[in-house]
Structures are given as C-alpha cells and as structure tokens.
Structure 1
Amino acid sequence: MNELIKNKSFLLITFGQGISGLGNTFSVFLMSWLLYDLTGSIFAMGTIWFVYVSSMIICHIISGPYLDRYDKKQIMIFSEWMKAIIFLLPLISLLNGSLTAEILYIVVILLGLIEPLFRPACMSYLTSIVKSNNLLKANATLESLLQIMMVIGPSLGGVMIGILEPQTIIIILISLLVFSGIMLLFVPKENRTWAGVEKNTWFSEFKEGLYFFKQNKLFLWIAGLIFFVNFGSGATQPMLLPFVLEELNGNSLQYGLISSGVAFGMLLGSLIVSSFEKVGSLKFIMLGALTLSGIFLMLIGSVSEFYLAFTCILLYGLFIVVFNINNTTLYQQRVPDNIRGRVFLVRGLLARIGIPIGAVTGAFIAEIIGFRYLFILLGLITIIPCIIAWNLPSFNQLNSHAGEDTKKVSI
C-alpha cells in the first residue's frame, strides 16, 4: 500500500475514479429528481434508469473494438470533459426556464453513451502504472472508493437539492468533472507504442474481442457467472422497496438503509481484500465468494426482521465484491495488452445485459410467486452455476501461474 500511496499517477487516477463515480451516481439521481419535479410520475423516474442502462449497453457494443486504438489516458479525459459538456444542456435550459422531460431524457441517453468509457479505460491503464504484484490492492482501493461514491452520491444529492438551486448543483458538478480531466493530464501516457497499430473494421475488431472468450474457456465461463450475478442484482434492487414495506413492515428510512446495504457490504469487502498481500487458491476464493453471495441472497427471502435482512444484503454485497475484485485482477494479468480494452468492454456488455433482463423478469416473477420465493429463486440462480463451475476443468486454470494459460488472440 505504501508503494501505491507514493505512486502519483495512481493517486491521480484514484481521484479521477472518485469524481467519475460520484458524478455518475449523483447525476442520474439529479436527473430523476428533476424529471419527477416536472412530471410527478414515479413511472417516469423508473424509465429514466432503463434508458440510462440501455444507452450504456449500446456504448459497450459500439465502442468496444475502438478502445484499444487510443491512449487510455486520452479516453478518460475525453469521458470526463464530455460529461461536463453534456451537463451544459440542462444548465442552460434551467437558466432560461425551458427545461422539459425530453431534454432530461436526451441528457441521460448521452450520459449513458459516455459513462462506460471511463472505467474500462481506467482498468486497462492501471497495468501501465502499477506493478503486477500490487494490482489486487490497487483494484481493491479503486473499488472501495467507487462504493463510497455509490453510498454518498444519492445522499449528498438529496442534501444539496434541499439547500441549493438545481442550476448551482449542476455548475458544481461541471466544475468537478473539468477539474478531474485537468488532473488526468498529468498522468503519463500508456507504456505502449501506437505507431503502426493496425486499424481494422468495427466488425472484425469486435469479433476479435469476442473470439478471446471463445478461445479462452475460463473467461467465457466467468462471463456467464457475471451474467447470472447481475441478473440477480437487477432483479433484487427494484424489489427492495415493496419487500421492506410489505414483508418487513418497514418505513422509508429502513428502505434507504437496506438500499445502501449492498454498497456498504461492497465497501467492507473492498477494504478486506486490500488488507491481504496475496491470495491463496483463486478458484476457492472466487467461486466460494460467489456461492456465499447466493446463499445470503436466499436467506433474505426467509427472514422477517429488518436487521437480519440488512445483514444478509450487506454480506451479499461483501462476497460479490470479493469475486469482482479478483476477477478484474485476473483480466489485467492474463488478457494481452493489445486487446485488453475491448475485452473489458465485452465483459461489461455481458454483465450489464443481465441487469435490465433481471429487473423485468424479477418483477414478473414476484407478481406470481411473491417476494420471498423470488429471493430464494435468485439465490439458486447464483448457486447452481457455481456448483457447475466447481466441477469444470477450465476453472482449475485459476490456480495456474498468471498468464501461462492465456492464448494469444488472432483472427
């Protein structure tokens, strides 16, 4: 950790990740509030999240093959400054009194198309400034910061909306994004030669990113596990409000606490992972953590006390992030440099697809079998693929030396 603290480039990246994470959670919260203030429609608030996630999926599809053509430093700066420019649209509309729901939807769509660029670029760039033996701690640190931003973003947004005008809040947000981009100007370029990089068609490069998963069965199976994890997450989050109010006889404060439970658990898990110098059996840690997350998701459906439900949701988030951090480190160590960016984006695409599918499917299932059986079913959907993975030969590669089983990708 001392090496990371002395690494000025890593500190600047950490700052940029923090601003980006806060901006993402806070901005969509702000757009939702402005839309509700304009329309008074709860349904409209729900649709704005669906539009946001759908836009991010489109970005993953389109931008994946192109990410590796450019310096990741420039991509991160572009992402921060472009978001600042996008926020000028609602700011100008608020100042001249012409803000409409259509403008807010346009803003959310544009944010969704830009937001997925920063984190894959950041994860790929990290290997240029951090030694391999420090990647796990670096990833855990960035994940901790991201979860802190997810926890305080909506709360901070609610406080600021109560004391400041919306246009003032947007000006602050724009200023932070611009300053973040300026800070990133001081990090070095990637340690990579860009001259002579072959530029193929979009389809051929996207196919190359997909081919990595076909050629490396371990990563293909892990991508499948991530899909089921995000399916469960997408189904769980929208159901927490009716679950707390109807099944636990809770109130709005308890709903707020349990909604933040996953983020608190992820923060705690990130801090735990960052305290270890190195891991033991990676197969045991990753699959074990994922299996335990499914067990605690099942337990949510069997408890009647709020504090037990909160404990289960916290531990669910804790074990999910243990899997995520080790998974990210695995990609950084074993994916070839020339395709790492597009592989991260393809992985993100596979992961994010599970969220809207889970949200729609979960609501439908809850109507038929109820909330409690829904959580039990979601837990099983996580546990069963893990049981299968324990017995697959591909997962034995998790304990092999980093990089020795990764195949070079060529089309």
Structure 2
Amino acid sequence: MIVSTFLTDFSNATIIFLFTLIIGQTATTIWLTLLWAGYYGGSFISHLLMGSYIDRIQSRRLMIGSESARLLIILALVISGDSRSSALIVLCATSLGFVEPIFHPAEVRLLTELFTEAEMTRVNAILELSDQSMTIVGPISATLLMSFLNSQASLLMLAIVLTVSVLVTLQMPPNKVAPLPSQSGLKAVNQALNTFRHSHKLLQSAGLMFVLNVFFVGAVMPVLLKFVQSLGSHAEFNYTFLTVIQAVGLILMATWLTQHKMHVQNLLNRNLLTVLAIAVLLLFVSLSTQINTLALLFLLIGSFSAIFDVENNLLFQTASPHAEIGRMYVFKGLINVGSITFGTLLSGFVLHWLSVQQLYSSCAILLIISSLMMLHRTD
C-alpha cells in the first residue's frame, strides 16, 4: 500500500507539470489557463459526484479503476501521436482531473479497516510524507523528462509508471467491512450531509481546516512571490528557496511522525494549538526582511503544517462513521478546494487596499483570534 501511495502521488504531481511543459512550448497563455482550469474543474465535479457511490463500491475496485482510467488516458494520448495538441491535452487533463480524486478516499476507507487508531497516526504521516515529497520530485521529474526526451517519450515513461501502479494496486486486499447497500445517488449524498451536519467533531475539524486554508494556504501562499519581490533582488531564487524550505520542513516532520506514535486524546485542542503556532510564525514572517530569518520561519511553518495535516486527518477519521468514511473524505476534499479558492480570491480583492506585508499580518491576526476563540469554546 505504501508503494501504491507513492506511485500514485508521483504520477499526480508529474502529470499536470508535464502537460504544462508540453503546452508551454508552443501554446498561448489561454491554453495554460484552460489546462489548469480543466484539471481542477474535473476534480471539483468528481468530488461532487463521488458522495453518491464512494462507500457503496469496494475500495480496491475504485482504486484499480482510478489508476487504470488514468493509464488508458495517457496511452490514448501517446497512441494518438498528437501529444502536442493543446486541445487534446486539455481534454485529457480534464478527464484525469475527474478520475484522479477517486483513489485517496477509497484508500483511506480501506486503511481505516486494516489499522487501529494508534497505527493510523503513522499511516497518516506516511501519506503526508508521500504527498509532500512527490510535490518536489514530480515537477523535477517532469522537467528532466522534457529536457532529455520528447513529449511522446515522456508520456510513454509516465504510462510505464502508471502500469506499475495498476499492478501494485491489484495486490490490494478487499474491504473487511461490507460496503453500504445500494441507494439512489441523491439519497446517499443527503444521508452523508445529515451525518456531517450532526457530528460536532466533524464540523469542528472541517471548520479548523477551512480557517487555515482561507487565511494561510489560500491567502498567503499564492502571493509569496510578491512578498519576496518587496524585499529586494533575486526574488525568483528566494521564492523557490522558501518554497523548497517549507516543503523540507513538511517532509522532515512527516518522516519523524512515521517513527513515533501520536496519542488520539485531545486531538482538537492540539490541532488548534498547531494553527496558533502557524499564525504566530506568520506574524513574524510579515515583520521580517532577512531571507535567512524567513527561511527558518518557513522551515518551522512547514513542520507545523505537517503536524496539522496528520492530526486533522486523524481527527476526521476518528469522528467519521466507518460506513461513511469515504463520503466524509469527499466532503473534506470539497471543503479543501473551496476554502483555498475562497482565500485566493479574498487576498486578490483586499490587495487593492493593503500591501502584501499588511495582508500577511492581517491573516496572522485573524488566525490567532479564530484559534483562540475555538480553543475557548472547547474548554
């Protein structure tokens, strides 16, 4: 399962960047916009529909279906012999965006059956390690493929990786718990929404993730380059440096968490304290002008972000009824995508009146206030 996770995350991270590099050689900016919009638009629609079937089909079948569909899409692009067609690549990206999100909710549902709550701490850390490390390895791999091979050969190499992933996924065990009985899609989604609305822990977990995504991931990270440009020369290098440093912090902490057990008691309070720590670090970022100081702060932010992701996933898993855990993860994905998008739009709006430094300090203060208020309510 670990091998399958790493292979899936690798192909996820590589595909969109490889497509970007292929289109970027000849196409106009509008095609790049359509590429990313198609990929994430397909993902959003997939999340909307997934709640109607994710817990009614064997996880193994869904995972195999997701990987096989991605392999067939890439092979179709290779066989077509027209891998430089912008329209065809956008169509393939949209299709890949639709089938890709199916894998992980099905995987989490299967993992929670195979491992105890205590063991899921390490499992979540491995998932986080895989996700973050592949966000670095994937783009580098795409760049190397396009540097030494043409687009057809690069896509063929990716098809080989997906073939191995399918073969590994075929070895997955079946679910121990029987899937939910068949019911209409709307009824299934409505039932899942009722479960979500009436679970205090799920609402708190989702609310905390929403707040961090809006005021940090969505509002802060997209304008990091603008923040770095305000500090002086070498902006592009420093932007890449800080991005990599944050990813290193995530990877190091996720690696450490795979070796240590995490108690499942007081998860919400600990998650809130982690958000508070990120907010304080962000406040220091807004006041800093030295790249060395910023590097240390972003390393720490990356480390606390890994802790947050692992704890929040564990909080979600322990609060979800097992029979509906797949659907709960679908809602988690929707909230994740929606909150980041909202944060990005919000920052773009307020930057008409605020500087980037003022935006950062404002987001930090709002995060501090939000986390303290939520901490007060949990006491």
TM-score (structure 2 length as normaliser): 0.92
Distance 1:253 1:380 in 2: 29
Distance 1:192 1:282 in 2: 26
Q: Which runs of 4+ in 1 moved over 4 A?
A: none
Deviation at residue 321 of structure 1 after TM alignment = 2.0
Deviation at residue 40 of structure 1 after TM alignment = 4.4
In structure 2, the residue matched to 1:214 is 197
**Range with bigger deviation, 328-337 or 60-69:** 328-337
In structure 1, the residue matched to 2:254 is 270
Structure 2 unmatched ranges of 5 or more: none
Cα distance 1:210–1:260, how it changes in 2: closer, same or farther (>3 A)?
Answer: farther
Pairing of 1:3-402 with structure 2 (within 5 A): 13-41=1-29, 44-46=31-33, 48-93=35-80, 95=81, 97=82, 99-194=84-179, 197-231=180-214, 232-279=216-263, 281-393=266-378
Cα distance 1:47–1:373, how it changes in 2: closer, same or farther (>3 A)?
Answer: farther
Deviation at residue 47 of structure 1 after TM alignment = 5.0
Distance 1:184 1:354 in 2: 31
1:267 partner letter: I
Question: For 1:204-227, what per-residue CA distance to the aligned partner results, in whole angstroms no more than 9, with x for missing partners?
Answer: 111121112211122112211211
Output the aligned Cα RMSD. 2.0
Distance 1:120 1:44 in 2: 30
Distance 1:30 1:381 in 2: 37
Distance 1:145 1:383 in 2: 29
2:274 partner letter: A
Deviation at residue 62 of structure 1 after TM alignment = 0.8
Cα distance 1:391–1:311, how it changes in 2: closer, same or farther (>3 A)?
Answer: same
Q: Are the counterparts in 2 of residues 79 and 115 from structure 1 also a CA contact under 8 Å? A: yes
**Range with bigger deviation, 281-290 or 173-182:** 281-290
Q: Are the counterparts in 2 of residues 50 and 356 from structure 1 also a CA contact under 8 Å? A: no
1:69 partner letter: R
Distance 2:318 2:191 in 1: 19
Cα distance 1:207–1:384, how it changes in 2: closer, same or farther (>3 A)?
Answer: farther
In the comparison of the two structures, how many residue pairs are matched? 377
Distance 2:40 2:245 in 1: 21
Cα distance 1:209–1:290, how it changes in 2: closer, same or farther (>3 A)?
Answer: same
1:224 partner letter: G
In structure 2, the residue matched to 1:9 is none
Question: For 1:282-323, what per-residue CA distance to the aligned partner results, in whole angstroms no more than 9, with x for missing partners?
Answer: 244211111111222232222112222222223222212212
Structure 1 unmatched ranges of 5 or more: 1-12, 397-411
2:67 partner letter: E
**Range with bigger deviation, 145-154 or 358-367:** 358-367
Distance 1:250 1:52 in 2: 32
In structure 2, the residue matched to 1:403 is none
Q: Are the counterparts in 2 of residues 250 and 306 from structure 1 also a CA contact under 8 Å? A: no
Q: Are the counterparts in 2 of residues 55 and 113 from structure 1 also a CA contact under 8 Å? A: yes
SS of the equivalent of 1:368 reads coil
SS of the equivalent of 1:119 reads helix
Q: Are the counterparts in 1 of residues 22 and 84 from structure 2 also a CA contact under 8 Å? A: no
SS of the equivalent of 2:303 reads helix
Distance 1:355 1:52 in 2: 16
1:75 partner letter: L
1:136 partner letter: T
